[in-house]
Structures are given as structure tokens and as C-alpha cells.
Copies of this chain bind each other. A is one copy, B any other.
Amino acid sequence: MCPKKQSVTIQDVAKAAGVSVSTVSRVLNGKVDVSSVTQEHIEETIQQLGYTSNLAARSMRSKRNHLVGLIMPDIAYPFAWEVMKGVNRAIAESEYDLLVYTRGDVRKYGTAAHEQQIVSLLNGSITDGLLIVAPVSEEFFSNAPIVSVDHLAVRPGYPSVHSTNYEGALEAVRYLLSLGHRRIGFISGRQELISSNRRFQAYHDALAEAGISLDQNLIAPGDYTTATGYTYAKQLLNLPQPPSAIFAANDQSAMGVYQAAQEMNLRIPEDLSLVGFDNIPEAAYLNLTTVDQFIAEMGYQAAKILFRLIEGETLETKIQQLPTQLVIRGSCQVLLSERASAS
């Protein structure tokens, strides 16, 4: 199917060039103590034979591979894509190549043990450092640096970049309150993630500020997916006293709410006010009001930090918070305040 030519090793090159393996290795690693004559000769031979060093073997002996890893449970959802965009930019600007590792499904992943396994797999050998998206673990065993994206651990064992989840969510709920809403539903995120808890905490606090006590009926569990967003939105909207507004813990669940509302012939924002956390492109097209958290920027910053760590810098700041921004789209505000005050 394709030329099975048994891969050529450093030995073959040495033999062909009539030198020892170590000399070839020296050339390969840009060491200086090689005469320019042999240097050129070896390089020529490498060209001719089409030699490429074996990653596995090389990784086993040397420290640096100019390769960093990005671990994601799944690469097919908008959040992942945004993170990758940011990381990709940092990679393009750098000397490193990127290896994105995924199992393709959160369900094939998700436990701390799994995470540790993948970390060991990559960082123990082939990568110089690792970026981990929304990890569950607070600490990892690893001999190369790790930076997490979107995970604010209480006492993190690694540097971390995330957005101001609490502040952003606070603003979102305050906004809905400012429109006159009193019954605001909440679709939660994955319980095990801190980001989700922070957003819930803000929901709680904003309501408390306004003197509204929590109504458990208006709080729906969720897991950051469209499917549950849809399911629980239906449930909320079918209550005897449905909420007049919903705050969804992320974009995906907001999309679910959107779908549910459409199906129930509720117009957004006329009949139902909706705000979602996150800033995927789709939101803009649908005129959804969102709390943008600059996901790509988080990926970019995390990668930059990782590079510095790999270079040997010791950074003071372990946690970096990137700002969020409430983006109100369309004519949401006016219509809603009219409706809300009328009710």
C-alpha cells in the first residue's frame, strides 16, 4: 500500500557515511565539535537515505523534544476548538510543535486516574510540557511542566489560566435582574468542575443581593452539553410558574435552551430572556446574549506560560485570570425590560 521500506536508523547512516553512530548523533543534535567536512558528508548521507530520527528512541534519552502536548477529553465541541485556535497561534509563533491528545469522548475519560495516565504517557517521554483543559485532578505526577486551562483549583499543583467565572456570571445575572426579572432559571455545568461551581455561586449571590431567595425548582443540573440544556430548559419552561429568564452555565447548554424555546414557540428575547456563558461564534449569529470569556486567549496565554516554564523560568504567579465580558446582542435589552416590567 505504501513503500514499507524498513525505516532507516542512525546506524545505517553511520555505516553509509563510514563514521560512528555518535558522530551522526552529534551532527543531528547540532553539536559543535565535528569537522565541517564530516558534518557535510553526514548531512548529505542523511538526505540520500531519507533518514528521520525515531521519536520514541530519541525521547527515551534526551530531555527536550520541542514538542508540547495538549490534552482534551474531546476535540469536537466548540470550546475545544476555541482553545485549539489560541494554542495553535502560540505554537505557530514558537519553536515547538504540538501534539493534541484525545480519546474522542468525555466518557472514555474524565476520571483523575485517566488524566494521570495520559499525563505520564506523554510527559514522561515525548513531550516537553503539557496543557490540560479543564482537568479534574488538582495535582499530577510529572517531570515536565503542566499548565491547565479553565480550571481554578483551590490549591492548584500547577499554573492555571482561566477566566473570571464568578465576576462574569455575576454580571450576567445582575443584567437579567436589571431587566426586571425575578424568576431566573439556572442550567448548571459539570458538577466536578470548579468553573461550574463559581458560576453557580455568582448566580446565588446576585439573587441574594437583590433579595431574592433561591428557588430550587429553577435550578437545573446540567453538564455543559446541548442535550441536557435542552432537556432541562423544557422542564423549567413547563413549570407551573416558569422562569421569565434563564442563565445557562455555558454556550452549549444555552444552545439547548434556545432549541427548547424555539420548539415551544417562545421567542428570544421577547418571551424568554437568555444569557449564556462562553463565546463561540454561533452565539453571535443567533444574536444570543453571552458572557464572553475569550477562550482562545486562554489557550494562547496558557501555551505562552508553558513555553516559559519549559525554558526553565520559575514563575511567581500560579493563577492567571482573564477578564470576561457581557455582550448584549440585538435589541434584547429594550424588549425585555418592557416585558419584564409589564409582567
Q: A interface vs B, CB < 8 Å? A: 1-7, 50, 52-57, 59-60, 74-76, 81, 84-85, 88-94, 97-105, 108, 116-117, 120-122, 124-126, 139-143, 145-146, 157-159, 281-282, 285, 309, 314
> Is chain A's binding surface mostly helix, strand, loop or mixed?
mixed
Q: Is the CB of B92 within 8 A of A108?
A: yes
Q: Is the CB of A91 within 8 A of B102?
A: yes
Q: Is the CB of B116 within 8 A of A102?
A: no
Q: Is the CB of A126 within 8 A of B124?
A: no
Question: Looking at the complex, which one of B60, B98, B103 makes contact with A57 (CB distance below 8 Å)?
Answer: B60
Q: Is the CB of B84 within 8 A of A142?
A: no
Contacts of A3 in B (CB 8 A): 139-142, 157
Contacts of A108 in B (CB 8 A): 92
Chain B: minimal CB distance from A338 (Å): 28
Question: Looking at the complex, which one of B50, B54, B97, B146 makes contact with A103 (CB distance below 8 Å)?
Answer: B97
Q: Is the CB of B285 within 8 A of A120?
A: no
Question: Looking at the complex, which one of B90, B94, B101, B124 makes contact with A99 (CB distance below 8 Å)?
Answer: B101
- Assuming the contacts A76-B88, A125-B54, A140-B3, asked whether A101 and B104 have C-beta atoms less than 8 A apart, the reply is no
Most chain B C-beta atoms within 10 Å of own C-beta, residue among A54, A76, A85, A122: A76
Q: Is the CB of B104 within 8 A of A98?
A: yes
Q: Is the CB of B75 within 8 A of A124?
A: no
The docked-state distance in angstroms from the alpha carbon of A285 to that of B285 is 6
Q: Is the CB of B158 within 8 A of A2?
A: yes
Question: Looking at the complex, which one of B55, B94, B105, B157 makes contact with A2 (CB distance below 8 Å)?
Answer: B157
Question: Looking at the complex, which one of B1, B55, B102, B116 makes contact with A309 (CB distance below 8 Å)?
Answer: B1
- Assuming the contacts A54-B124, A120-B52, asked whether A102 and B100 have C-beta atoms less than 8 A apart, the reply is yes
Contacts of A97 in B (CB 8 A): 101-104
Q: Is the CB of B158 within 8 A of A125?
A: no
Chain B: minimal CB distance from A248 (Å): 20
Contacts of A84 in B (CB 8 A): 75-76, 81
Chain B: minimal CB distance from A125 (Å): 4
The docked-state distance in angstroms from the alpha carbon of A143 to that of B59 is 20
- Assuming the contacts A7-B141, A143-B6, A159-B1, asked whether A92 and B105 have C-beta atoms less than 8 A apart, the reply is yes
The docked-state distance in angstroms from the alpha carbon of A52 to that of B3 is 34
Q: Is the CB of B99 within 8 A of A103?
A: no
The docked-state distance in angstroms from the alpha carbon of A324 to that of B53 is 40
The docked-state distance in angstroms from the alpha carbon of A268 to that of B108 is 45
Question: Looking at the complex, which one of B57, B117, B146 makes contact with A125 (CB distance below 8 Å)?
Answer: B57
Given contacts A7-B120, A7-B143, 10 further A-B contacts (CB under 8 A): A2-B145, A54-B121, A56-B57, A76-B84, A76-B89, A81-B84, A89-B104, A97-B101, A100-B100, A100-B102
A–B pairs, 10, beta carbons within 8 Å: A7-B124, A52-B116, A54-B60, A54-B121, A75-B84, A75-B88, A88-B104, A91-B102, A92-B105, A97-B104
